[in-house]
Structure 1
Amino acid sequence: MTVLSKRVSEIAPSATLAIDTRVKELIQNGEDIINLSVGEPDTDTPMKASYMAIEGISKGFTKYTNSSGIIELRKRLSQKFKEDNNLDYDPDQIIVSVGGKHSLYNIFMTLCNPGDEVILPAPFWVSYSEQIKLADAVPVIISTDESTDFKVTPAVLESYITNKTKLLVLNSPSNPTGTAYTKEEIVALAGVLEKHDNVYVISDEIYEKLIYDGEHYSIANVSERMKERTLIVNGFSKTFGMTGWRLGYTAGAKEIIKGIANFQSHVTSNVTSVAQLAAIGALNDYDHTQKEMFRQRLEYVYGRVSQMPYLRCVKPQGAFYVFPNVEQTFGRSYKGTKIESSEDFCRLLLDHHKVGIVSGVAFGSPNNVRISYALNLTRLEEAMNRLDAFLAELE
């Protein structure tokens, strides 16, 4: 009999972190691996963020803080929402958590009762489904594919809503596909949701600054009614390259944020004190040139992948991933080993050509693979050359 709880025994480990761990072990062993598996930008922490954290340490700002986040940071985030998103949130409608992942987990645990349904469009970020299950809720998967640019249509969304539906998870721009919904598409989805008062929305907007075709538009902007039923999740990992600082935040209706705060107070007490100071510094030191840098990388990687044999790929509008379909490689062989899945594809590519990417299985899209282009162009060029060579050797 296992000593582990049922809930822990039934969750799957993070596929992205698992392959990232393996890649880093190979690198430590002297292998020349190009790691395109993890969603970690190669940009540095903004200098103002580091300076504010160092100053905080030197002045002894190392004690407990308000469990929802220091008021200075929540006021600055309130200003951010007004300036960047044209949304009004008071500081008590915002809570700071230990990363965007923690923010999401807080919401599921605060809002979901056993048996509640959470609509989750696939492909989806790997932790969504596992967190939903940890909250004793039921992930209801809407499968999408290249034919709709991996987007959910209003008619399809309507068909999945039941009297058990509690939440819709909306991630735009998306991890893993890079898909970004237009304003018109968001408004159309809101038209469905406004007919169902029992359905709330998690709008994961952590890639909002990285849209290359069009502008970011939040579903909370559609109407005051939608704003009251939307929880915006964001963080500092992607926009500011601060993955290790573990900083995320949620904005929403005051009653829900208060419930999240009660839950969080028993889980983490507070976000690391000096990390909160770093967050203030980061918000005052955003590098606007990085968007163009990532756009150049997208154009290069997408341009290469779209010309490769056996692969087909929808051009992303945001984030820093491409998500090609590799189904045409299934049944082919590499040096005597048959490829029967995207997992086989990724394993052979890593073992023989030293490029780490992630199978789409964990994202709910088993025929695809996720390739991150959060690396400099020199390494991306070498990675694409290796991928091209791998495909050329298939039989």
Structure 2
Amino acid sequence: MPRTSRRTSVFTESLIREMSRVAAQHGAINLSQGFPDGDPPAALVQAAKDAMDAGRHQYAITWGSPELRDALAAKLTRFTGLPVDPLRELVVTCGATEAMLAAVMTVCDPGDRIGMFSPFYENYNADAILSGATAVHVPLHPPQYGFDPAELRAAFATGGGLKAFILCNPSNPCGRVFTREELLQIAALAEEFDTFVITDEVYEHLVFDGRQHVYFATLPGMAKRTLSVSSLSKTFSITGWRLGYLHAAPEIIAQARKVHDFLTVGAAAPLQHAVVTALGWGADYYAGLAAEYQSQRDVLLGYLDRTGLTYTRPEGAYFVMLDISPFGYASDVEFAHWMAKEIGVAPVPGSSFFANGENRYVRLNFAKKPATLHAAGERLLKLKRG
């Protein structure tokens, strides 16, 4: 028999999804995979039922229903201040996962170099491999997860320059929210080296302690070279609906639409129609969302404080990186399995997010109801260091 492709042999299945299976196996509380355990807003669920009752069961326009693209354009303009053309600047995708792969495939040819910070969301490395690009990693230095400007410049200059740079902000897994000054440094390098910037901004509304999310495309000169990836999953607690989108300049979107068309054809038609309802909600909804997640963060961190273990306080998103080095495990994967079985809480091994074989961390997800977090917290107290 012929062998399967080489590209599929150089990355593994997702450790995040694996740990959800491990959690189920041991009856552990699942703080690994990033999804809420509560229901979406009732009005949104009702809108989905209404869409199905109205017979919206067939394909929508490949790159997104007109109603959804109009609503997305209006919402983006409201938050970024940028004019957005719903006809020429948007593609609706099957989640941000597809949007990111479509973006990478749109701008990168085999052999191109694509930069990203490490730690990174695990899909980015796989997206580079599937696109035939070479990943170039720039370390974010714990515990604050800042970058060294000299290391960032060296990465942009490597091999004659990067074709693209992936920026996750707020950052999964470390919860970092980059400042405007930091983003301007990235923007200056993108201009100097003529590099595309692909932003993953799915946690755009989950920023804490009075911080503000800065949309990269709003920085001077960046709208023309930014491919903005986001989704509706985290904002409206509908991760299983798989609704994402890509926003970029018309000449980029014209190419991205072709990639999207042959990857998935289109996202679920009735759900596209339903989510238009939510996109019309006002500022109070988004403020309440951030406040709710900040409260949930503080519940989990309160228990971690009682364990005496070290963690990095998340500035945004809904994850916390916990330092497990005091336990002396050589493998964070082994520790994660032990923790799910013996402690009853399932994390994600941190090594799935780092380029350099780092194994001192696990990631915990606090997008859970307070009752779930208190139950998990009581179990986590068994990790307490004397």
Cα distance in 1, alignment partners of residues 130 and 369 from structure 2: 37
Q: Which amino acid aligns with 1:318?
A: G
Q: Could you tell me whether the CA contact under 8 Å between 1:123 and 1:143 is conserved in 2?
A: yes
Q: Secondary structure in 1 aligned to 2:323?
A: coil
Alignment of 1:182-221 (within 5 A): 182-197=179-194, 199-213=195-209, 214-221=211-218
Q: Secondary structure in 1 aligned to 2:222?
A: helix
Aligned partner of 2:75 in structure 1 is 80
State the Cα distance separating 1:307 from its structure 2 match: 4.5
Gaps (5+ residues) in structure 2? Answer: none
State the Cα distance separating 1:262 from its structure 2 match: 1.0
Which of 47, 65, 69 aligns to 1:70? It is 65
Aligned partner of 1:344 in structure 2 is 334
TM score, norm. by length of structure 1: 0.90
State the Cα distance separating 1:291 from its structure 2 match: 1.8
State the Cα distance separating 1:391 from its structure 2 match: 4.1
Q: Which runs of 4+ in 1 moved over 6 A?
A: none
CA distance 1:2–1:23, change in 2 (3 Å): farther
Alignment of 1:50-61 (within 5 A): 50-61=45-56
Aligned partner of 1:151 in structure 2 is 146
Cα distance in 1, alignment partners of residues 365 and 229 from structure 2: 22
Cα distance in 1, alignment partners of residues 312 and 305 from structure 2: 8
Aligned partner of 1:175 in structure 2 is 172
Cα distance in 2, alignment partners of residues 90 and 153 from structure 1: 37
Aligned partner of 1:323 in structure 2 is 321
Query: Residue by residue, what CA displacement relative to the aligned partner does 1:117-171 show, whole Å, maximum 9, x if unpaired?
Result: 1111011111111111110101111122215x21324332111113241111111
Q: Secondary structure in 2 aligned to 1:69?
A: coil
Aligned partner of 1:132 in structure 2 is 128
State the Cα distance separating 1:72 from its structure 2 match: 1.3
Cα distance in 2, alignment partners of residues 109 and 203 from structure 1: 14
CA distance 1:307–1:6, change in 2 (3 Å): same
Cα distance in 1, alignment partners of residues 56 and 4 from structure 2: 38
Task: Name the % identity.
Answer: 29
Q: Could you tell me whether the CA contact under 8 Å between 2:168 and 2:199 is conserved in 1?
A: yes
Aligned partner of 1:255 in structure 2 is 251
Which region of structure 1 is more displaced relative to structure 2, 295-304 or 176-185? Answer: 295-304
State the Cα distance separating 1:345 from its structure 2 match: 1.9
CA distance 1:264–1:231, change in 2 (3 Å): same
State the Cα distance separating 1:305 from its structure 2 match: 1.9
Do residues 266 (structure 1) and 262 (structure 2) align? yes
CA-atom RMSD in angstroms:
1.8
Aligned partner of 1:312 in structure 2 is 310
Q: Could you tell me whether the CA contact under 8 Å between 2:119 and 2:173 is conserved in 1?
A: yes
Q: Secondary structure in 1 aligned to 2:233?
A: coil
Which of 334, 341, 349 aligns to 1:359? It is 349
Q: Which amino acid aligns with 1:51?
A: Q
State the Cα distance separating 1:211 from its structure 2 match: 0.0
Alignment of 1:221-260 (within 5 A): 221-223=218-220, 225-260=221-256
Q: Which amino acid aligns with 1:137?
A: A
Query: Residue by residue, what CA displacement relative to the aligned partner does 1:160-203 show, whole Å, maximum 9, x if unpaired?
Result: 11324111111111111111012222123222222121x11011
Gaps (5+ residues) in structure 1? Answer: 331-338
Which region of structure 1 is more displaced relative to structure 2, 320-329 or 4-13? Answer: 4-13
Q: Secondary structure in 1 aligned to 2:212?
A: coil
Which region of structure 1 is more displaced relative to structure 2, 53-62 or 206-215? Answer: 53-62
Cα distance in 2, alignment partners of residues 360 and 2 from structure 1: 35
Aligned residues: 376
